[in-house]
Each structure stands twice: as C-alpha cells, then as structure tokens.
C-alpha cells in the first residue's frame, strides 16, 4: 500500500508545547504517522488535498456499553433506577450472541461515523464465551480500535471475575487482532465484597490489564481502603463516573495515577449526580469522556465534550459570583481542555497514550478530518472551537491505523442496509422483554 500524504489542512496535534493549530502536511506510511511538517515532498505517496479542513487526532470514547445499540432511545426518559430495573433486571438475560454481535458492529460503525477511532467497550453483558466472541467479532468487523473491557451482568458481591475467560480471550480472540486490546470491567469496590474487589484488581495487575469500575454515587465503601492498602491503584485503574468520591479520595487516586471517565450527558440526565470534572481539575488532573449508553443519550463524543465544558463552566461561574459578588472576567476551562478530554485523556484512560490521542511522528495514524467549510462552522476563526462545535455532518473523513474508514462524509462499509435490518430485528425482539414494564411502544 502506498503512503498517503494529507496536504493543506490546519492540524491540531494535541501535543504539549505546539501551537493550538498549524498548517502541516501529514505523511502516513502503513499504520503510522511517518512525517509531520510543512510542505512535505513525497512523490510516491497518494496525495489528498484537505484544504479548508481541520485534522485532529481520532476521538477516544473511553466508556460505551456498545451492546445496548439495538435498544437506542428506549430509556431516554428513564432515571438511573429505571434503567437498572428495566434493562439490567429484565432484559440482559435475553441477549443472544447474535444480539451482541450486531449491536457491537453497528455501534462501532456509528462511533466511526461520529469521529471516534478508539472505543472503550465496557461490555458487562457477557453471558458466555460465545457472547464474548460475538461482541469481539463485531468490533473487529467494524474496523475500529477498541479496548474490549470484559464484564458480566450484575451478580453477587462475593462472585469473582471469571479469570478463565480473561485468559482465554488473551490467548486467542483478542491477541489475534492488532486493533484490539483486552481489559477488565469489574464490579469493583463499590459493588463487590472487600475480598472480591482486591482479588479482581490483583488479577488485572498481574496480567497488565486496564481494570475499570463504576462508581455511581455514595460514600466510598471499605473496599476502597482495602485496595489502597494493597497498593492496587495505578495508571491501569480507570474509574467511571466517580460520583460522590470526596476530594481527598480523588486526590489520593490521582496521585496514584488512576484515570477517571465521566459521561456527562447521562450522569446529569439519569441522576447519577454531579460529574467529577471540577474535583479532578482541582487535583491537577482531567477527565476522559464517554457517552455511556445509546439507550438514553446520543453517541457523539463531541456533544459530550461540549456538555462537560458548559456544565463545569456553569458551576465555576456560580461559585465565582457567590464568592465575589461579580461575574468572572475569564473562563475557568477552555475549549482546548475539553478537546483534550476527548482525545489525549481518553487514550490515557485506556492505556493507549503511547499510541493514540495525539498527532506525532511514530504514533498510530488515527486521524479525523473536519470539514470547516460547512455553513455551520464557517468562518473557522478558532480551529479548536470549530472542531468542538462540529457535528456528525462535519466529520468528512476518518482514518484508523492508516486505513480510511470514512471518506467524503460516508462510511466505507458495504452492507449497511443489512446491518440496519439486523439491528432493528434484534432491538424489536429485545424490546418486548421490557415493554410490560412501561417502555415506549
């Protein structure tokens, strides 16, 4: 395959110390960025003119339950408790491997369409090895980069994570695919016994895997202190939501290298609580972002970034007025920070910071071209803000590991009508398992 030379775009590298946006050419050779400079000469490369576009690192959706794609929008008016009751209490056991496959395939394709090149697939409905393999195959077939965070439906606090299945996946279905990495989606200290939480985190550490856990509200349970005493918090620990963790605990976790993922639209809408963005910033850290559940909210990570930014600014403005009696003169959080949450911070949360999240020589060629010529973005005076304000219609092209997955505003995937038909059939069958509980008809 010939190298590809991207010319004429303004490039947001997200690399510390570089300008916010630069007129740069990008040379892609194989799956990596081979050169990054003005006016690159590469006569043997396939040149692509991206004048009028803004190129950014591929977005990183660090937390999505992709297996729920077939049930899109059914929980838009659910509270958190209704979601747990109807979906996790009534529906999950009815999923077949075929349901897992089509939701993961369609969900991953949708993420690519939105500009996401790396997905943290928090798959906590793995009912059997066949369900796991089907979910993995859906991701692979879509061509997205993914961390498959293996999880199970909610179970007894005493039940350990099925490590035999983790080892099986490491030895086969995951190892065989260059774009796929394995992690563990565990119940964690808030929803497991102390002994189980410690055993699960230790098993992940022994295997060098990202261990991710939900914390959706409430004071920290004794399991948190047990994990700290055992020295099991590390950069491979990812906490989703983190709602109600006190500032001192967040500081302790940040100091240990722990990452946090907030899913602001769903957290605010379903009643999880206040996103931890402010606490993280006060501790010298920053969140990564996820869209969480297609059953309740849309899957666009740029939407999540705008909501996270606006919500934190709102809190900070209110605090400033309360403290000083006047409006703030400067914003507390910038658009550049919000874009970092959707790129570099997401890569860090998934253990991939050395591969994706920035545009640098040697990094994986995961790139997104935003068409800044569109009427809703033109004139693009501030490239960073322009990208943050983009929607799906502005995502012109997406490249994953040097391979185009979207060009000219269209996915490069055959059989999309069949995918949609299968997704609809899966959703209709699954919806019948929760309709008696009051779901929309």
Alpha carbon distance 167, 208 (integer Å): 12
pLDDT surpasses 60 at 440: no
Alpha carbon distance 347, 328 (integer Å): 32
DSSP 292: B
Confidence of residue 176 (pLDDT cuts 50, 70, 90): confident
The DSSP secondary structure of 13-49, one letter per residue, reads ---TTS-SSEE-EEEEETTEEEEEETT---TTSEEEE
Can you say whether the dihedral through the CA atoms of 275, 278, 282, 287 is positive or negative?
Answer: positive
Output the domain CATH number for residue 314: 3.20.20.140
Give the mean pLDDT of 399-411.
98
Q: Answer for the pair 188, 210: CB distance below 8 angstroms, yes or no.
A: no
Confidence of residue 115 (pLDDT cuts 50, 70, 90): very high
List Cβ neighbours of 188 (8 Å cut-off, separation of 6 or more).
197, 200, 213, 214, 215, 223
Query: Look-up: residue for tokens 């892609």?
Result: 28
Confidence of residue 437 (pLDDT cuts 50, 70, 90): very low
Q: What percent of the chain has pLDDT over 90?
A: 95
**Domain housing 77:** 59-345
Count helices and strands (H / E) in the chain.
15, 19
Q: Which pTM does this prediction carry?
A: 0.97
In a domain, residue 371? The reply is no
Residue 60 DSSP SS3:
strand
Q: Answer for the pair 104, 121: CB distance below 8 angstroms, yes or no.
A: yes
* pLDDT recorded at residue 219: 85
Residue pLDDT, tens place only, 189-200: 999 999 999 999
Strands 59-64 and 116-123, sheet pairing: parallel
Structure tokens at 283: 């501790």
pLDDT surpasses 80 at 309: yes
Torsion from C-alpha of 411, 417, 420, 422, nearest 10 degrees:
-130
In a domain, residue 123? The reply is yes
Structure tokens at 254: 């940040």
Give the number of domains in the chain.
1
* pLDDT recorded at residue 173: 80
Give the mean pLDDT of 96-120.
98
* pLDDT recorded at residue 435: 64
Which stretches of 124-249 are assigned E, i.e. beta strand?
145-150, 180-186, 210-216, 237-243
Confidence of residue 436 (pLDDT cuts 50, 70, 90): low
Give the mean pLDDT of 183-194.
96
In a domain, residue 338? The reply is yes
Confidence of residue 409 (pLDDT cuts 50, 70, 90): very high
Alpha carbon distance 124, 136 (integer Å): 13
Alpha carbon distance 145, 161 (integer Å): 24
In a domain, residue 156? The reply is yes
In a domain, residue 114? The reply is yes
Query: Look-up: residue for tokens 């930014």?
Result: 309
Phi, psi (5° rounding) for residue 83? -60, -50
* pLDDT recorded at residue 298: 96
pLDDT surpasses 50 at 290: yes
Element (H, E) at 320: helix 301-324
In a domain, residue 205? The reply is yes
In a domain, residue 2? The reply is no
Residue 159: burial class (beta carbons within 10 Å; 0-12, 13-18, 19+):
middle
Going by C-alpha positions, the residue among 123, 84, 119, 174 that lies closest to residue 288 is 119
* pLDDT recorded at residue 439: 43
pLDDT surpasses 70 at 405: yes
In a domain, residue 405? The reply is no
Alpha carbon distance 350, 120 (integer Å): 7
Q: Answer for the pair 302, 115: CB distance below 8 angstroms, yes or no.
A: yes
Structure tokens at 38: 């003005």
Q: Answer for the pair 44, 3: CB distance below 8 angstroms, yes or no.
A: yes
Q: Answer for the pair 68, 424: CB distance below 8 angstroms, yes or no.
A: no
């Amino acid at each position: 395959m010939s190298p590809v030379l991207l010319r004429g775009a303004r490039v947001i590298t997200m690399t510390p110390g570089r300008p916010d946006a630069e007129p740069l050419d990008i040379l892609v050779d194989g799956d990596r960025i081979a050169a990054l400079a003005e006016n690159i000469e590469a006569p043997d490369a396939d040149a692509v003119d991206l004048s009028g576009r803004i190129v950014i690192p591929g977005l990183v959706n660090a937390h999505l339950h992709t297996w729920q794609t077939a049930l899109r929008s059914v929980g838009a008016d659910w509270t958190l408790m209704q979601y747990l009751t109807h979906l996790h209490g009534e529906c999950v056991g009815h999923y077949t491997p075929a349901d897992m496959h089509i939701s993961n395939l369609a969900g991953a394709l949708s993420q690519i369409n939105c500009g996401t090149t790396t997905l943290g697939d928090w798959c906590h409905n793995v009912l059997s090895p066949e369900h796991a393999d089907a979910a993995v195959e859906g991701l692979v077939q879509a061509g997205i980069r993914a961390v498959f965070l293996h999880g199970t439906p909610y179970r007894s606090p005493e039940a350990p994570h099925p490590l035999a299945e983790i080892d099986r996946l490491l030895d086969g279905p995951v190892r065989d695919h260059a774009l796929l990495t394995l992690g563990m989606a565990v119940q964690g200290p808030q929803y497991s016994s102390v002994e189980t939480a410690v055993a699960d985190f230790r098993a992940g550490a022994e295997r060098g895997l990202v261990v991710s856990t939900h914390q959706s509200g409430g004071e920290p349970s004794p399991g948190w202190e047990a994990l700290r005493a055992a020295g099991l918090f590390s950069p491979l620990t990812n906490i989703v939501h983190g709602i109600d963790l006190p500032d001192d605990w967040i500081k302790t976790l940040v100091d240990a290298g722990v990452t946090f993922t907030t899913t602001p639209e769903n957290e605010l809408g379903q009643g999880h609580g206040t996103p931890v963005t402010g606490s993280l910033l006060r501790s010298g850290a920053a969140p990564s972002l996820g869209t969480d559940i297609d059953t309740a909210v849309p899957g666009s990570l740029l939407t999540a970034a705008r909501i996270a930014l606006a919500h934190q600014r709102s809190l900070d403005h209110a605090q400033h007025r309360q403290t000083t009696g006047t409006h703030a003169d400067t914003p507390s959080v910038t658009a550049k920070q919000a874009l970092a949450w959707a790129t570099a911070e997401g890569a860090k949360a998934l253990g991939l910071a050395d591969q994706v999240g920035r545009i640098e020589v040697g990094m994986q060629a995961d790139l997104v071209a935003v068409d800044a010529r569109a009427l809703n973005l033109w004139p693009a005076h501030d490239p960073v803000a322009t990208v943050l304000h983009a929607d799906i219609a502005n995502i012109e092209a997406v490249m994953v590991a040097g391979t185009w997955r979207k060009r000219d505003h269209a996915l490069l995937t055959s059989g999309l009508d069949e995918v949609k038909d299968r997704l609809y059939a899966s959703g209709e069958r699954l919806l019948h398992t929760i309709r008696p509980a009051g779901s929309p008809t």
